[in-house]
Chain A
């Protein structure tokens, strides 16, 4: 048995034993999975970003107190007990990580992609963010400051990307459709 299959079998062993003990049900596990597969995802964050681009008062409120500003959306998913939104500008680029585990604003972005949780990203982005961002296709000139946010407590971070050029007449829904998960982590620019 290879090590890549070992966790699969061990997980099955534990689940079957917990079910036999009456401590969980398969249906309850299914329900959790369904919720995160279907109802929690980066669309939530994209709606918030698009609103901020269209509504200056909302943008100000979001940057001042994101937890309160997104509360009316009533997003599911958790991990946003305190949300902080950090804004990219022509002179400033923000990028988010959790070096100690893989903290991530689930209710805004869904569950994180694999690369966000892998050792390469977690180890490197605090030490050589410009090089990592360049590998992601984000080339930053030397006069742009890079701010890395290592989520080491229960505060969760979301990047407010710069609004792409040539979108002055786009609707809020059209704008939301062009906001990517990676832009809200800070490893992509939408310009």
Chain B
């Protein structure tokens, strides 16, 4: 989806703000959100891809203003509500009891028609054996898909419809575009693709820059030169 999360190449965010001696967590609640998410979000999270997509679907304003763990909180609540573990009204009622305002911006935007993931992972992790041979070899020139997709994908918008070169092959991996939605692990060959800065950014590109992305085979088409 063309969501707020797809930040590569966006302009206007200004300087990178760093801090010295940064703690692992700045606020107690951030650590609690991290812990709850790592414990499987109350049984609501089945796959990492589903969890990533749950974050991509939160309120775009909250995505930019609530920080990293605010995004995780929105994703956690999306998953919990969509799985029927808790409902939004119950969470809001408890939050108001704890001092929240009814007009607070809530990051979660749970779907009224959520995906159902009915399968267990075939194996731990995300690598999967593939019988099909890879379509591309090292050094092959490719062009990326020109269009976005409605759901989860790992082809950033800035690298759509761009020419690159295969520089590594990583064999078969679970395909996030289907796995995030409960449509199967559908393993695909994964490649590292190198893109010249000028191919991505045209005349504005800095000289001597190469950007690498790890891209799944369905995102790629051969260039016949």
Which chain A residues numbered 114 to 155 have a C-beta less than 8 Å away from chain B? 114-115, 117-124, 126-132, 135-136, 142-155
The answer to whether residues A7 and B85 also contact, given A13-B91, A126-B200 and a CB cut-off of 8 A, is no
A7 lies within 8 A of B73 (CB): yes
The closest CB in chain A to the CB of B86 belongs to A17
Q: What's the least CB distance linking A129 to chain B, in Å?
A: 6
Among the 9-residue stretches B11-19, B110-118, B131-139, the one with 4 or more Cβ atoms under 8 Å from chain A is: B11-19
Q: Give Cα distance in the complex from A80 to B25, angstroms.
A: 21
Which chain B residues numbered 67 to 121 have a C-beta less than 8 Å away from chain A? 67-70, 73, 76-77, 80, 85-86, 90-92, 94-95, 97-101, 104-107
The answer to whether residues A151 and B99 also contact, given A3-B65, A11-B73, A21-B42 and a CB cut-off of 8 A, is no
Q: Is A191 an interface residue (CB 8 A)?
A: no
The answer to whether residues A23 and B85 also contact, given A32-B38, A114-B26, A120-B16 and a CB cut-off of 8 A, is yes
Q: What's the least CB distance linking B102 to chain A, in Å?
A: 9
B16 lies within 8 A of A33 (CB): no
Which chain B residues numbered 18 to 49 have a C-beta less than 8 Å away from chain A? 18-19, 22, 24-29, 31-36, 38-39, 42-43
Interface of B is mostly: mixed
Q: What's the least CB distance linking B166 to chain A, in Å?
A: 14
Q: Give Cα distance in the complex from A32 to B126, angstroms.
A: 22
A118 lies within 8 A of B16 (CB): yes
Q: Give Cα distance in the complex from A121 to B22, angstroms.
A: 17
Q: Is A57 an interface residue (CB 8 A)?
A: no
Which residues of B are found within 8 Å of A117, using beta-carbon distances? Answer: 67-68
The closest CB in chain A to the CB of B12 belongs to A123
Q: What's the least CB distance linking B59 to chain A, in Å?
A: 11
Q: Give Cα distance in the complex from A10 to B75, angstroms.
A: 13
Q: Is B55 an interface residue (CB 8 A)?
A: yes
The closest CB in chain A to the CB of B152 belongs to A100
Q: Is B150 an interface residue (CB 8 A)?
A: no
Q: Give Cα distance in the complex from A124 to B17, angstroms.
A: 13
The closest CB in chain A to the CB of B204 belongs to A127
Q: Is B8 an interface residue (CB 8 A)?
A: yes
Q: Is A16 an interface residue (CB 8 A)?
A: yes
Q: Give Cα distance in the complex from A37 to B33, angstroms.
A: 14
Q: Could you tell me how many residues of chain A have their Cβ less than 8 Å away from some Cβ of chain B?
A: 70
B127 lies within 8 A of A82 (CB): yes
Q: What's the least CB distance linking A98 to chain B, in Å?
A: 9
Q: Is B5 an interface residue (CB 8 A)?
A: yes
Q: Is A30 an interface residue (CB 8 A)?
A: yes
B208 lies within 8 A of A144 (CB): yes
Which residues of B are found within 8 Å of A21, using beta-carbon distances? Answer: 42, 85-86
B86 lies within 8 A of A14 (CB): yes
Which residues of B are found within 8 Å of A120, using beta-carbon distances? Answer: 13-17
Q: Is A190 an interface residue (CB 8 A)?
A: no
Residue from B65, B101, B201, B214 whose CB has the most chain A CB atoms within 10 Å: B214
Which residues of B are found within 8 Å of A152, using beta-carbon distances? Answer: 154-156, 213-215
Q: Give Cα distance in the complex from A143 to B8, angstroms.
A: 25
